[in-house]
């Protein structure tokens, strides 16, 4: 199936891309890896008149350490993240999460910026980005602004990126090895029915839990975090008890792949498994 006709523009700089988005307004869409946008256009779920391809803009892809923080360009592919020696050493949750995404072809074309901007409720990155408490930089006509991960995901397929804006960087503090991502995937696509990312800070006291796939938008499982915060020792029993709160206060999704009850159950199981594995790595 072919998409509706569109004009294709390929800016050379970020400023040019922002100017093009401002000029074409709601008619324009950013193109990154195209693995969500192009299928949506073929199905006529999206009908942009203008495509602004940001794939050739210098410095929008790559991973580097700047002033003790790791900066990732939005055009960095899932495969680049999976293979990054810097991330395997300094932020191992990201390569682990990347390894769960789709298949090799999806990982070679899909980008972290495209995935975060698209905000599919079953995407893998949001769980890790929330557990890592990442900062997301966005650029538009008025300039640059930074949004924390927990304010970035607004609703189903909706983020803090406004009209005419481009996600231009993701920044993360280096983490220790005590991290884990556990996921139950929908077998045909690989998308998450429930994916849980855990980051345990040194000492084991500060634990962050990000959940994707369960609700319309990804979330921090704060009830789990609170249940663990007061514990003197994290035994298998205390971990299992805390994990039962993985979907507290959440309106779970149901579809042909999983009922709301099953998604809640998977969130609880994957939370227990991710906590157990991350804590074993301390
Ligand atoms: C068969 C298949 C299996 C998949 N399995 C998984 C899976 O298991 N787990 C998973 O997480 N994902 C999966 N995906 C999705 C994949 O990871 C996509 O690559 C990703 O969701 C979108 O990234 P992209 O670079 O392709 O973005 P695109 O498709 O190019 O763009 C997606 C949306 O984001 C906007 N956008 C892109 N970049 C920016 C930016 N920098 N700033 C502002 N807006 C931007 C676009 O305008 C568009 O609306 C799968 C996809 C396919 C086709």
Does residue 128 have its Cβ closer than 6 Å to ligand 1? no
**DSSP state letters, the chain:** -PPPP-EEE--SSHHHHHHHHHHHGGGEEEESS-TTHHHHHHTTS---SEEEE-TT-TTSS-EEEETTEEEE-TT-BHHHHHH-HHHHHH-THHHHHHTTSS-HHHHHH-BHHHHHHHT-TT-SHHHHHHHTT-EEEEEETTEEEEEEHHHHEEETTEES--TT-EEEEEEE----S-EEEEEEE-TTT--EEEEEEEEE-TTS--EEEEEESSSSS-EE-HHHHHHHHT-SS--HHHHHHHHTTTTTT------SS--HHHHHHHHHHHHHHHHHHHHHT-
How many angstroms separate the alpha carbon of residue 178 from the centre of ligand 1?
A: 28
Q: pLDDT tens across 70-79, in order?
A: 999 999 999 9
Closest-CA residue, ligand 1 atom 12, reads 123
pLDDT over threshold 90, residue 282: no
Q: pLDDT tens across 33-80, in order?
A: 999 999 999 999 999 999 999 999 999 999 999 999 999 999 999 999
Average pLDDT over residues 111-131: 98
Does residue 139 have its Cβ closer than 6 Å to ligand 1? no
How many angstroms separate the alpha carbon of residue 31 from the centre of ligand 1?
A: 9
Q: Is the whole model's pTM more than 0.85, yes or no?
A: yes
Does residue 234 have its Cβ closer than 6 Å to ligand 1? no
Q: pLDDT tens across 93-120, in order?
A: 999 999 999 999 999 999 999 999 999 9
């Amino acid at each position: 199936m072919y998409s509706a006709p569109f004009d294709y523009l390929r800016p050379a700089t970020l400023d040019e891309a922002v100017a093009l988005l401002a000029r074409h307004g709601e008619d324009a869409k950013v193109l990154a890896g195209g693995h969500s946008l192009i299928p949506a256009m073929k199905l006529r779920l999206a009908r942009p008149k203008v495509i602004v391809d940001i794939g050739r803009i210098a410095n929008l892809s790559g991973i580097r350490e700047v002033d003790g923080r790791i900066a990732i360009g939005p055009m960095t592919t899932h495969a680049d993240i999976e293979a990054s020696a810097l991330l395997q050493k300094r932020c191992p949750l990201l390569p682990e999460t990347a390894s769960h995404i789709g298949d090799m072809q999806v990982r070679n074309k899909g980008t972290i910026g495209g995935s975060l901007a698209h905000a599919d409720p079953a995407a893998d990155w949001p769980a890790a980005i929330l557990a890592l408490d990442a900062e997301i930089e966005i650029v538009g006509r008025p300039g640059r602004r930074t949004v924390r991960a927990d304010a970035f995901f607004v609703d189903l397929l909706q983020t803090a990126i406004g009209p005419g804006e481009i996600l231009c960087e993701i920044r993360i503090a280096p983490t220790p090895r005590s991290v884990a991502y556990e996921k139950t995937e929908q077998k045909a696509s690989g998308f998450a029915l429930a994916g849980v990312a855990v980051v345990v800070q040194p000492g084991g006291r500060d634990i962050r839990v990000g959940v994707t796939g369960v609700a319309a938008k990804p979330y921090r499982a704060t009830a789990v975090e609170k249940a663990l915060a007061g514990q003197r020792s994290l035994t298998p029993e205390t971990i299992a008890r805390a994990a039962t709160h993985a979907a507290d206060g959440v309106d779970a999704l149901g579809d042909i792949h999983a009922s709301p009850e099953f998604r809640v159950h998977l969130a609880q199981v994957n939370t227990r498994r991710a906590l157990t594995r991350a804590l074993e790595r301390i």
